[in-house]
Structure 1
Amino acid sequence: MTADTLTRALLLLLLLRAAAAVPGFTVSGTRILDANGQEFMIRGVSHAHTWYKDDINGAITSIAAAGANTVRIVLSNGGQWTKDNLDSVQNILSLCESHKLIAMLEVHDATGNDSQETLENAVNYWKELRDLLIGKEDRVIINIANEWFGTWDTAGWADGYKVVIPELRNAGLEHLLVVDTAGYGQYPQAIFEKGKEVFQTDLLARTVFSIHMYEYAATDVTMIKGNIDSALNTGIPVIIGEFGDRKPESQHVDIDTIMSYTREKSVGWLAWSWYGNGNDESILDLTNGPSGDYSLTNVGSQIVDSENGIRKTSTICSIFN
């Protein structure tokens, strides 16, 4: 071996070690591990920031006070709503860190859309935030695109994510990635059929799948347990990225079983949403407003204070200890 060849080999080894040493969330089987290698069980709520941009301080403060360890932040890339720029996202991340909350960021503009273009627009948004996000792999999770692919179909959903996951990795984003399943997040069959294939496109193996449990995915005990078990049987992590009881005329969602069975199976969850659901979907509100003196609704009390709720099952991420 020549000196030049040896030098190049050593440089390559150093680069590989540096890449492997990036601190952040990782995956071990069906478990999510934090940057200290400890299992991290997501317990939190979503906050619809992009529609209530002036409420961020009160919302983060009250969500932390409720005992959450994670907050899922709704952002816009400008496709449907006013874009959340770099400065605003930086402020959000600072607030989350000061309140010991893991920030799960998601782009909402692709909701229900099947086009690859809308998914690519979400990816381009993450690339724009690249310099802000790199270095925060231990406290920021990227939910690539909320409920992209509204159709109840596995192939199109899988094909889309097989393209964009490598793009995010090639851009240097090594964060834990969350992928909502097809059918507005309510078609877990896509995970059962193609989740493993999608997961394998992530060379860092740091991808988690998300089911949104509403009237099509969580109406009774059998459905809830079956969907969670079948997802876990793929050998890759799953979370309940959203859940809540819909409009009165929709089929009832068994929130108690979602919370008890996810606790039994060590599955993370985020309830939708802290407040601000309009008109006939106000039943989804967990509180009556964003401020620090918030009051919980009936469903909010169930999700925050019940036996399997946030206060009794949430543990702050070890990186903040």
Structure 2
Amino acid sequence: MRKRLATAAGALLAFAASLLAAPSAAQAQPQTRAQAPSPAPAGAQAAPGFHVAGGRLLDANGEDFVLRGVNHAHAWYPTRTAQALKDIKALGANSVRVVLATGDRWTKNDTADVAAVVAQCKQNRLVCVLEAHDTTGYGEQAGATTLARAVDYWIGVKSAVQGQEKYVILNIGNEPYGNSGYAAWTSDTANALARMRAAGFRHTLMVDAPNWGQDWSFTMRDHAAEVFAADPERNTVFSIHMYGVFNTADKVRSYLDRFISQRLPIVVGEFGGMHSDGDPDEDAIMSSARQLGVGYLGWSWSGNGGGVEYLDMATGFDAARLTAWGQRVFSGADGIKQTAKEAGIFGDGGTTPAPASCSVDYRLSDWGTSFNADVTIRNTGTTAVKGWQLAFAFPGDQKLGSVWNAKAVQQGSEVKATHESWTETIPAGGSVSFGFNGSSTGSNGVPAAFSLNGAACAKG
């Protein structure tokens, strides 16, 4: 981001705003239920770490994982990294996106350096999203390099990340096209994924959008399914960067909804509260991410220059001097402290297995086109459950609305509800309750089955 500065031309951003404001022909048509992306080919080995299933990012324990963290510019401030990661973790983050340089534009972060970063992330119980930054704005920015060269870099430092699939996600190249030549994004990204797999990488791979990451041309949005299918392991996550193009709640939500409806994994890999190309709607970005169970990584911890110093979260890398932006990201509504959950691979941050027996009482109040549901989960076992996810499927065409005392995400008819901090523990012999409202067409009813942390529950 430090290198983005004054990049996107005003005319193109105005065009982007008009594109995002008006729905495309496809958006204007009635939406049918999305089909899940095709699974990995038969006979493919199970992923050894993070993996994508049903449009969601799962950790090595098979638990839903939502990135909640920030970016750190390690490539330019390597001596700051050790303390930065400690501070970022202490403020509640579960992940960090680390800027690396391939040597094409900035001084290369070599194999030993990358290995040290991974070790520091693990020591701080942070999921490490490593990204190659030299691709930023290719086709428009002088000195930027290609995705193909980024793949060369990853192959060169492979030994630093091999075997770390449970802890590391590889973001192949940052913002791989500017506002010129971006039509090549689809084929170049598909080729990069294929080469990474051919080289033996089993990690979850993350791919950034073109147009300086903001995809105002909808190139990534409209070709994401094609690119996902190009990954032999079907283990790719898409990353949108939200700055001035995403200046209204409608633009934020409509973009994310397109991925959710296609059951394609999407994260907000960068976003800010202000920017030289416009005023992002950070409240909408963070609230939509919470409502949809989408990950986000704010830009950035510290060290911004060239006129975008307001994107620093910590003044002078000092965690005791958080800026207004830093306070917003970490402690504000829908912020990191409120919504982050540590990856289960680190042990006590994950969910405890469900009790041998549990029951769910689903009380429905139906008013025809709208309804309320009050849900009580009873732990009828002898061990407390700390951290839970309740899964069920609506029996008809119900649409989830507001939720209280839990967080919930709907994909097709399937709903996954997870605890809030105040409903996290279900004591042995005790219960917790949450509720939600929604809309429906046709008949309504009680879901046929419920599972708690993957274990079937009786209906109360």
Q: Deviations over 1:177-233 (max 9, x none)?
A: 1110110110161222111111101011100111100001x1011111111112222
Residue of structure 2 aligned with 1:186, choices 214, 226, 231 = 214
Cα distance 1:154–1:281, how it changes in 2: closer, same or farther (>3 A)?
closer
Question: Where do residues 31-110 of structure 1 align in structure 2 (5 Å cutoff)?
Answer: 31-110=56-135
Residue 339 of structure 2 is matched in structure 1 by 313
One-letter identity of the residue aligned with 1:307: A
Residue of structure 1 aligned with 2:251, choices 223, 228, 241 = 223
Report which stretch shifted further, 120-129 or 21-30: 21-30
What is the rounded CA distance, in whole Å, between the counterparts of 1:18 and 1:61 in structure 2?
41
| More strand per residue | 2
One-letter identity of the residue aligned with 2:66: M
Question: C-alpha displacement at 1:153, in angstroms?
Answer: 6.5
2:157 corresponds to 1:129: yes
What is the rounded CA distance, in whole Å, between the counterparts of 1:169 and 1:252 in structure 2?
38
Question: C-alpha displacement at 1:87, in angstroms?
Answer: 1.1
Q: Deviations over 1:263-321 (max 9, x none)?
A: 00010000000011114201111111335x43210011011001210011000100001
Contact 1:179 1:207 in 2 (8 A): yes
Residue 315 of structure 2 is matched in structure 1 by 288
One-letter identity of the residue aligned with 1:185: G
One-letter identity of the residue aligned with 2:243: Y
SS at match of 1:50: coil
Contact 2:132 2:174 in 1 (8 A): yes
How many residue pairs were aligned? 303
Residue 236 of structure 1 is matched in structure 2 by 264
Contact 1:141 1:176 in 2 (8 A): yes
Residue of structure 1 aligned with 2:294, choices 258, 261, 267 = 267
SS at match of 1:73: strand
What is the rounded CA distance, in whole Å, between the counterparts of 2:76 and 2:343 in structure 1?
28
What is the rounded CA distance, in whole Å, between the counterparts of 1:129 and 1:192 in structure 2?
30
What is the rounded CA distance, in whole Å, between the counterparts of 1:205 and 1:185 in structure 2?
22
Residue 253 of structure 1 is matched in structure 2 by 280
What is the rounded CA distance, in whole Å, between the counterparts of 2:118 and 2:157 in structure 1?
12
Contact 1:143 1:177 in 2 (8 A): yes
Residue 422 of structure 2 is matched in structure 1 by none
Contact 2:105 2:145 in 1 (8 A): no
Contact 1:154 1:193 in 2 (8 A): no
Contact 2:85 2:121 in 1 (8 A): yes
2:193 corresponds to 1:168: no
Residue 213 of structure 1 is matched in structure 2 by 242
Question: C-alpha displacement at 1:152, in angstroms?
Answer: 6.4
What is the rounded CA distance, in whole Å, between the counterparts of 2:97 and 2:267 in structure 1?
12
Residue 304 of structure 1 is matched in structure 2 by 330
What is the rounded CA distance, in whole Å, between the counterparts of 1:256 and 1:156 in structure 2?
33
Q: Using the aligned pairs only, state the percent identity.
A: 38
Give TM-score, length-normalised by structure 2.
Answer: 0.63
What is the rounded CA distance, in whole Å, between the counterparts of 2:304 and 2:278 in structure 1?
18
State which structure, 1 or 2, has the greater radius of gyration over its C-alpha atoms. Answer: 2
Contact 1:243 1:271 in 2 (8 A): yes
> Whose relative contact order is higher, 1 or 2, with alpha carbons under 8 Å and at least 6 apart?
1
Cα distance 1:21–1:102, how it changes in 2: closer, same or farther (>3 A)?
same
SS at match of 1:296: coil
What is the rounded CA distance, in whole Å, between the counterparts of 2:298 and 2:155 in structure 1?
27
Contact 1:67 1:314 in 2 (8 A): yes
Contact 2:71 2:299 in 1 (8 A): yes
Contact 1:62 1:294 in 2 (8 A): no
Question: C-alpha displacement at 1:71, in angstroms?
Answer: 0.4
Q: Deviations over 1:51-97 (max 9, x none)?
A: 11111111111111111111000000101111111111111111110
What is the rounded CA distance, in whole Å, between the counterparts of 1:45 and 1:95 in structure 2?
15
Please provide the CA RMSD for this pair.
2.0
What is the rounded CA distance, in whole Å, between the counterparts of 2:111 and 2:320 in structure 1?
28
One-letter identity of the residue aligned with 1:305: S
Contact 2:139 2:181 in 1 (8 A): no
Dislocated runs of 4+, deviation >6 Å: 16-19
What is the rounded CA distance, in whole Å, between the counterparts of 1:250 and 1:154 in structure 2?
19
Report which stretch shifted further, 16-25 or 102-111: 16-25
Structure 1 residue runs of 5 or longer lacking an equivalent are 1-15
| More helix per residue | 1
Give TM-score, length-normalised by structure 1.
Answer: 0.90
What is the rounded CA distance, in whole Å, between the counterparts of 1:65 and 1:117 in structure 2?
35
What is the rounded CA distance, in whole Å, between the counterparts of 1:250 and 1:204 in structure 2?
37
Residue 151 of structure 1 is matched in structure 2 by 179
SS at match of 2:289: helix
Contact 2:136 2:145 in 1 (8 A): no
